[in-house]
Amino acid sequence: MRQSLSAIGLLAALAIPLAPALGGINEWTYVGLAPEVVTDIKVHPANPDIIFASALDVFWDTTREGGLFKTTDHGLTWDTLGFRHSNVMGVAIDPLNPSTVWIANDMAGAWRSTDDGQTWENRSQGMYLGGADDFGALTLAVSPTSSDLLLCGGAGWAGPGWICRTTDGGLHWTEVEWEHYLIRILFDPHVEGRVFGPLMPLNQIYMSVDDGETYEVLPSPMLYDLALNPARADWIWTMARGSFQYTPDLGQTWVRPDTTFPPAGATGWYVISSWEDENQLAATTATRVFWTENGGRSWASLDRGWGTNWTTAALALVAATPPEIWVGSTYGSVFAYAIVDTSDAARPAAPARSTWNVRIWPNPASDSFTLDGVGPSGWGTVSLYNILGRTVLRETVMMPGGTFTFRVPTSWPSGMYVVTVSPQGRTLQPKSIQLTITR
């Protein structure tokens, strides 16, 4: 108990929040998994502290091994659930039984866990995997009315794709479409049996009224992603190639509520709706994140703490207090943003703070840890404090001149430490991250 109190006292004395457990207030905060390229983020439907994240295996970079990860403490720590050196493309949590988790594991197909991700079973019988075009599973979803009914979208790296369906929990899959594929699958909360998704490479809306057995293509702009209105049936939000639009009547009419969004020259990317308020949505372009609380009539650009060279690869809303947006970046890592005052978020951030962030990995660490300061160029100081608040390491580094690896001496005991990066000669607050060392 004394050790825990000392840890909290140290954090308070250094004015360091218990990060990365929560997103920064109106500012992006690193919450883990550097330097992994995160492909999907899924939140437990009953517990927002439990979050799964999948990642790519970047074969030319040995620090980015891909796989599946899980946090049970809102990003404070992450567990590896296996599948290293795999391209885990998507995650699905069974809405009827959240202990059952599925992943779309590229050319390894669909895998299922019935014990919260501890053990896994391959359930890909009938899927077309591999082949000349390296076909693999990209995304999947579980029906809200039957745990045995799933849809999966797959594609090749250099060719068309497919849509598969199972009614027996993945023991057998049936191909229901060849040539086209889905990059997101949404079961309609309003109409049983109805399913939607962005159909590629047509960039149009897929709709099925028989749980994915057959489908039709709805008229739509050239879209990349879509979201369903939680309060109104037949209402679909879309992030199109150069616009944000919605249809209130399954594609018969289309409305663009803000003709200035996305900004000129930006490509629309992801969009996701809040299930508490129909007017709240998050959306991204390739390199920026936005938020609206009025159904898309105006948007706040969430720039504070976001790096200029980061690109978005996954998007999730977390029902925390305050609500949070979580984004996976192809730059590597997961970042969170706690939304408190969107009028404040919309105001331009100070230029020096707009890209100031810190990442550290692995965490927990044993023999060494690597840190980079993604922020203003110049010299900075890296300090590491032990559980008693004593400085055990202090070095001067050039920021943001790459990554810095620090050896962990054998004399350092296991436990909690705090790493602080302080820019020199600038009016910027230090950034700090909790580091756990294990032996």
Q: What is the phi/psi pair of residue 346, to 5°?
A: -75, -20
pLDDT of residue 311: 82
pLDDT of residue 356: 52
CA-based nearest residue to 69, from 101, 94, 107 = 101
pLDDT of residue 125: 94
pLDDT of residue 398: 64
Q: Domains of the chain (ranges plus CATH)?
A: 20-346 (2.130.10.10), 357-437 (2.60.40.1930)
Q: Which residues of the chain have pLDDT under 70?
A: 1-24, 59-63, 132-133, 157-159, 268, 308-309, 331-332, 340-358, 372-379, 387-389, 398-403, 423-431
pLDDT tens column, 380-397 = 778 887 766 678 888 877
Q: How far is CA 407 from CA 278, 282, 362, 365, in A?
A: 50, 40, 12, 10
The secondary element (H helix, E strand) that includes residue 7 is helix 2-13
pLDDT of residue 100: 98
Residue 152: strand pairing partners: 140, 164
Residue 133: half-sphere exposure toward Cβ, Cα within 13 Å: 14
pLDDT of residue 388: 67
Q: Quickly count: other Cβ atoms within 10 Å of residue 138's Cβ.
A: 24
pTM for this predicted structure: 0.75
